[in-house]
Amino acid sequence: MRRRIATTDGTRLTPAFAAIRAEEQVPETFPAAVLAEAEAAARAPHVPAEDLTHIPFVTLDPPGSMDLDQAFHLEQLPQRAGARERGGPGGGFRVRYAIADVAAFVAPGGALDAEANSRVVTIYCPDRRVTLYPPVLSEGAASLLQDGPRPAVVWTVDIDADGLTTAIDVRRALVRSRAKLDYPGVQAAIDADRAEGPVALLRDVGETLIAAEHARGGMSMRVPAQEVAADADGRLALRFRRPLPAEDWNAQLSLLTGRAAASLMLDARIGILRTLPAADPRDVARLRRVAAGLDIAWPTDVAYGALVTVMDADTPARAAFLNEAASLFRGAGYTAFRGSLPELTTHAAIAAPYAHCTAPLRRLVDRAVSETCLAIAAGRPVPGDIEAALPLLAATMAEGTRRAGRVERASIDLVEAAVLAPHVGELFDAMVVALDDDGDGGEIALPELAVVARCAGRLPLGHRTQVLLDAADPATRTLRFRLASDVAPTAGSAVPGAGG
């Protein structure tokens, strides 16, 4: 039988979520001086001279979002004269991407700047967001909301019909968002062929850029993300969520902008990149052995990136394979440089140089990248405070990102333990998605409960099996499973929930 989705009372876990943040020294509030500076900046930001409020930008985010970093406008470019006669691609697109101009509100060396450097990133917890900047800015004056013009860093990137970049421009300008859109609504409009304005081109531009990514060897994983969801009554549950196609298309606009920023900085030999080394051949060889063991066809002339890009986690074997393949994506970092170029300049999953620049309300490094690129594009020296900060940003971002990851992982572990605590001693259908190197134990997923956990025993990778929940302790945020086949039967007893 199918299990009812298990939930837990979110309000009862609030102290435990706060304890997780305390363990990681995540601040719960902003100092008074920071709030005062933010209020003053919200009332009197630096307003750029150029006015692009006539361009009908729109924002596209998850429902309910208020920290809106990006707004876009898309335009079909006319076919170049003679392009078809020469055999070249005709037409293309102009992508305008407006990014919240945090520097219009944050003064170098001020209280806001210092606080942001200590927070580094916005941290998302099930009970609240711990924002990089005070909400009066991140969800108000600096956010690209509809309620008035906003200062922005506006990127204009032209691509041809093959998705190749042909022109890059970046400048400060005043913009006005015409609509606050969300992914489900945009997806429904595009699917029904009733999308209008720049949204009508989102699929065409997104698919063009995805095809270009595949052509240069880039890849993206289709592994559903585990996340905590809250219902209207404040009860928490776990789910595996697959991104909508509209999310992938919008992500391509951000990736295009990040590649444009990396290109400018590399040409000028100053900046900070988001880098990822190529997979170790030994890891690829191990992944091929996993594929063989799971009966997944992998022709010898097909690169692993080409395989995982088109694969969905729609069977236990494929889910296990993609889980193993995800390990090849580890090792991403930030690389700062000035003068000479670094040894590694590319991001292996994107198959190109890339920089973070499109989420400055949520990530510290994006503001520095924007300021660097604005100076390069204008032919000016990079501001002294930014140039001095670049060598330190790589380490700052690495630690801030790790801290956010630890908080978010611990929060999910807590919810998993709380959801399953009433079910100790029950059997569950599980999917084996990873094995330990010695083969004794590994990782399982409970698809119907969206739980991922450790399990003891000789597990069958890529197959479904039954597991017994031995313990679920919210206090220590731990679960303990073992194979049901390893449970010694007791005369006259039964395991509750068997067959569930």
pLDDT higher than threshold 90 for residue 438: no
Lowest mean pLDDT, pick from 38-42, 128-132, 186-190, 316-320:
316-320
Average pLDDT of span 227-249: 90
Average pLDDT of span 105-112: 96
pLDDT band of 219, cuts 50, 70, 90: confident
Rounded to a whole number of angstroms, the CA Rg of the chain reads 24
User: Can you give the pTM of this predicted structure?
Assistant: 0.91
Spatial separation of the C-alpha atoms in residues 387 and 333, rounded to whole Å: 19
pLDDT higher than threshold 50 for residue 494: no
pLDDT band of 412, cuts 50, 70, 90: very high
CA distances from 130 to 21, 22, 123, 156 (A): 9, 12, 5, 32
pLDDT higher than threshold 50 for residue 393: yes
Show Cβ contacts of residue 488 under 8 Å, excluding neighbours closer than 6 positions. Answer: none
pLDDT on residue 109: 94
Average pLDDT of span 398-403: 96
pLDDT higher than threshold 80 for residue 179: yes
Provide the mean pLDDT of the chain. Answer: 91
Domain boundaries, the chain: 8-277+331-416, 424-486
pLDDT higher than threshold 70 for residue 82: no
- Angle of CA points 433, 438, 439, to nearest 5°: 40
pLDDT band of 356, cuts 50, 70, 90: very high
pLDDT higher than threshold 60 for residue 491: no
Lowest mean pLDDT, pick from 13-27, 83-97, 147-161, 179-193:
83-97
pLDDT higher than threshold 50 for residue 496: no
pLDDT on residue 301: 87
pLDDT band of 449, cuts 50, 70, 90: confident
pLDDT higher than threshold 90 for residue 231: no
pLDDT on residue 499: 36
pLDDT higher than threshold 60 for residue 86: no
* Residue labelled with tokens 């041809």: 160
Average pLDDT of span 351-378: 98
- Residues 182-196 pLDDT 10s: 999 999 999 999 999
pLDDT higher than threshold 60 for residue 4: no
Q: Which CATH number fits domain 424-486: 3.90.1200.10, 2.60.120.10, 2.170.120.20, 2.40.50.140?
A: 2.40.50.140
Phi, psi of 219 (to 5 degrees): -155, 155
pLDDT band of 223, cuts 50, 70, 90: confident
Spatial separation of the C-alpha atoms in residues 26 and 477, rounded to whole Å: 19
Q: What is the 3-state secondary structure (H, E, C) of the chain?
A: CCCCCCCEEHHHHHHHHHHHHHHCCCCCCCCHHHHHHHHHHHHCCCCCCCECCCCCEEEEECCCCCCCCEEEEEEEECCCCCCCCCCCCCCEEEEEEEEECHHHCCCCCCHHHHHHHHHCECEECCCCEECCCCHHHHHHHCCCCCCCCEEEEEEEEEEECCCCEEEEEEEEEEECEEEEEEHHHHHHHHHCCCCCHHHHHHHHHHHHHHHHHHHCCCCCCCCCEEEEEECCCCEEEEEEECCCHHHHHHHHHHHHHHHHHHHHHHHHCEEEEEEECCCCHHHHHHHHHHHHHCCCCCCCCCCHHHHHHCCCCCCHHHHHHHHHHHHHHCCCEEEEEECCCCCCCCECCCCECCCCCCCCCCEHHHHHHHHHHHHHHHCCCCCHHHHHHHHHHHHHHHHHHHHHHHHHHHHHHHHHHHHHHHHCCCEEEEEEEEECCCCCCEEEEECCCCEEEEEECCCCCCCEEEEEEEEEECCCCEEEEEEHHHCCCCCCCCCCCCCC
pLDDT on residue 314: 75
Sign of CA dihedral 407, 409, 414, 418: positive
pLDDT band of 14, cuts 50, 70, 90: very high
349 contacts 329 by C-beta, under 8 angstroms:
yes
- Residues 92-102 pLDDT 10s: 999 999 999 99
Spatial separation of the C-alpha atoms in residues 302 and 327, rounded to whole Å: 19
pLDDT on residue 492: 37
pLDDT on residue 226: 86
443-448 contact pairs (CB < 8 A, 24+): 443/323, 444/481, 445/319, 447/240, 448/2, 448/3, 448/5
pLDDT higher than threshold 80 for residue 414: yes
pLDDT band of 319, cuts 50, 70, 90: confident
Average pLDDT of span 32-57: 97
Average pLDDT of span 193-201: 93
